[in-house]
Amino acid sequence: MKQEKILVIGGTGKTGRKVAKKLNSLGHSVRIGSRNSSPSFDWEKPETWKDPIEGMDKIYITFQPDLAVPGAQKAIKGLIEEASRANIQKLVLLSGRGESEAELCEQLVVDSGIAYTIVRADWFNQNFSEGLFTEAIKVGKVAVPKANVPIPFVDTDDIADVAVTSLLNNTHDGKTYKLTGPDLWTFEDCIATIEKSLNRNIEFTAVSIDEYTEMLKAINIPDDFVWLVNYLFINVLDGRNSNTTDTIEKILGRPAKNFKEFAKEAALAGVWNKL
């Protein structure tokens, strides 16, 4: 198998670090694109993009904090220009499922003239173990809006496997994949499942969007992240994504990981040990 030189933008994040690890294990040459890597890559500093891209064959793209935020389209357009200049052969973009703003960024990749795969994913299982809800689970008190909207939570291991397969196989060129877990879960279902995995009680409260926003501000969450959380809860969690796909199984030849399996693994790993 040909050794590929692949830049993983967001290579220390939820999916990026797993993509990088899997590529390294397969013998490929991986460059991490992050603010703390060398050369540094910072989405907020376009002057840092050229050096990490130079000499690479392909790029896995995750945009922080989300492709829906203002400024994302401009950033993706600029990145594509750098990729074209450097003769990049393939782009794999991680996008959001059901986000119209993200689809505008996807279209820039589609129109780039570079081979591509778009990977659309829903809410991650790992939002509970290394994200938005982790600390609340540790202290045993979780409050969340849209508590009973069914969501096909997807695991970052599965996303990473699909991304790696897409990077390394041209049969996925020109494809847009919608990735979900195998089942629909509400936030309340998820917390109840985590309770069972931990064998301890977690207080769960359904709140309004306004109440949740005030809670985030009270613990000094940055305004841009509060905006994003509001966008996701108001514009995406309206039932439009309350369905599953079998895309992961078709691409990987194995079932997608379900939330119950994720919760057991995370509990055993100690990620929710009390503070």
Q: Give pLDDT tens digits for 151-166.
A: 999 999 999 999 999 9
Mean pLDDT of the chain: 95
What whole-number percentage of the chain has pLDDT above 90? Answer: 86
d(CA 95, CA 98): 9
Measured between alpha carbons, how far is residue 237 from residues 71, 111, 124, 147, 152 in Å?
22, 29, 14, 10, 11
pLDDT higher than 80, residue 275: no
The residue type at 98: G
Report which secondary-structure segment, H or E, holds 85. helix 72-85
- Taking the alpha carbons of 44, 114, 241, 15 in that order, is the dihedral positive or negative? negative
Tokens at 73, concatenated: 């389209």
First-residue to last-residue Cα distance in the chain: 46
Rg (CA), the chain: 19
Of residues 88 and 216, more confidently modeled: 88
Rounded to 10 degrees, what is the CA torsion of 84, 69, 258, 170? Answer: -10
- The reported pLDDT for the residue numbered 85 is 98
Nearest CA-CA partner of 23 in 159, 168, 172: 168
d(CA 66, CA 94): 10
d(CA 275, CA 120): 34
- Can you tell me the mean pLDDT for 237-257? 96
Question: Cβ neighbours of residue 7 under 8 Å, at least 6 residues apart?
Answer: 30, 31, 33, 41, 52, 53, 56, 58, 59, 60
3-state helix, strand, coil in the chain (%, to 5): 45, 15, 40
pLDDT higher than 80, residue 1: no
3-state secondary structure (DSSP) of residue 206: strand
- The reported pLDDT for the residue numbered 200 is 95
Q: Give pLDDT tens digits for 94-141.
A: 999 989 999 999 999 999 999 999 999 989 999 999 988 999 999 999
- The reported pLDDT for the residue numbered 201 is 96
- The reported pLDDT for the residue numbered 179 is 98
Q: Give pLDDT tens digits for 202-217.
A: 999 999 999 999 998 9
Of residues 127 and 221, more confidently modeled: 127
Per-residue pLDDT band for 228 (boundaries 50, 70, 90) equals confident
- Can you tell me the mean pLDDT for 78-82? 98
Q: Give pLDDT tens digits for 10-36.
A: 999 999 999 999 999 999 999 999 999
Residue 4 C-alpha from the chain's centroid:
23
- The reported pLDDT for the residue numbered 204 is 97
Per-residue pLDDT band for 236 (boundaries 50, 70, 90) equals confident
| Tokens 């659309």 found at | 120
DSSP label at 186?
-
pLDDT higher than 70, residue 72: yes
Tokens at 4, concatenated: 């590929």
